[in-house]
């Protein structure tokens, strides 16, 4: 275990440095960009190593896995949920989930609102957009987002703080840049409209292979897994 985790601190230092450089290149305010360590499939010991190196924000993609790992970790870890969320798993979530990045359909919106009302909890979410129109990927089509946000306005226990996307697989960095730019453009267009419970300040985009590009295109949350923890087993 010690051996497997030994590189995590060093890799985090490198990632932070690369983020800093991307922020400088794009002349952005560094306080507007957050690194999420995507800890899915990683053992608690690996997450602890990242925590020791100062990382506090982590992302998991399966509710079950989060439920197994989170109790063994410090209480001030901040948890983000990035994977497809089944409606029957919402009941297992609690206020230690800082943000749900994968709000991608009406049924999930409805379930979150109902559970939120029952417990007096307001969920912080991002709307997942399938900006690449990749049939293999989840997310709303860009043209579906305005109607969806209108529905969010009718769900007082759900707040939307921005948009999230997962880049298409096997495309060039140039194409990925185009997708990031489109997501930002969609956000900018929608921001001029006002819906209750909607404030599109966050853009969750960019992973291990393209987080610097994402920052240059306006990402506020980058989700990095393998570059921190190493390849997933």
Candidate residues 38, 132, 145, 203; the one interacting with ligand PLP per rule CB under 6 A: 38
- Going by C-alpha positions, the residue among 92, 93, 83 that lies closest to residue 164 is 83
Q: Does 166 bind ligand PLP (CB under 6 A)?
A: yes
Residues 184-223 contacting ligand PLP, CB under 6 A = 207-208, 223
171: its two tokens? 């495309």
Under the binding rule (CB under 6 A), the answer on residue 83 touching ligand PLP is yes
What whole-number distance in Å separates Cα of residue 93 and Cα of residue 211?
A: 28
Does residue number 129 form part of the binding site for ligand PLP (CB under 6 A)? no
- Cα–Cα distance for residue pair 208/214, rounded to 1 Å: 10
Sign of the alpha-carbon dihedral angle for 91, 202, 84, 206 = negative
Q: Is 40 in the site for ligand PLP (CB under 6 A)?
A: yes
Q: What minimum distance in Å lies between the beta carbon of 222 and ligand PLP?
A: 9
The SS3 of residue 139 is coil
Report how far residue 53's alpha carbon sits from residue 57's, in angstroms, rounded to the nearest whole number: 12
Residue 131 Cβ, how far from ligand PLP at the closest point, in Å?
13
**Residue 224 interacting with ligand PLP (CB under 6 A):** yes
The number of residues in the chain equals: 233
Q: Contacts with ligand PLP: how many residues (CB under 6 A)?
A: 13
Closest residue to ligand PLP in the complex (CB): 225
Q: Which residues bind ligand PLP (CB under 6 A)?
A: 38, 40, 61, 82-83, 166, 207-208, 223-227
């Amino acid at each position: 275990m010690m051996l497997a985790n030994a590189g995590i601190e060093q890799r985090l230092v490198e990632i932070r440095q690369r983020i800093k450089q991307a922020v400088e290149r794009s002349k952005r305010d560094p306080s507007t960009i957050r690194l999420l360590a995507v800890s899915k499939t990683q053992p608690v010991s690996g997450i602890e190593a990242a925590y020791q190196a100062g990382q506090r924000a982590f992302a998991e993609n399966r509710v079950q896995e989060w439920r197994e790992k989170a109790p063994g970790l410090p209480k001030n870890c901040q948890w983000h949920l990035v994977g497809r969320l089944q409606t029957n798993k919402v009941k297992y979530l609690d206020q230690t989930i800082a943000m749900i990045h994968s709000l991608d359909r009406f049924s999930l919106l409805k379930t979150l609102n109902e559970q939120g009302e029952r417990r007096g909890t307001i969920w912080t979410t991002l709307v997942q957009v399938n900006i690449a129109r990749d049939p293999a990927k989840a997310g709303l089509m860009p043209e579906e987002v305005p109607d969806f946000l209108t529905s969010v306005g009718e769900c007082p226990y759900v707040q939307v703080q921005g948009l999230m996307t997962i880049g298409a697989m096997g495309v060039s960095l140039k194409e990925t840049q185009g997708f990031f730019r489109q997501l930002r453009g969609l956000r900018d267009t929608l921001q001029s409209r006002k819906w209750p419970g909607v404030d599109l300040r966050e853009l969750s985009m960019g992973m291990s292979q393209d987080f610097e590009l994402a920052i240059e295109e306006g990402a506020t949350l980058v989700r990095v897994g393998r570059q921190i923890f190493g390849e997933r087993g």
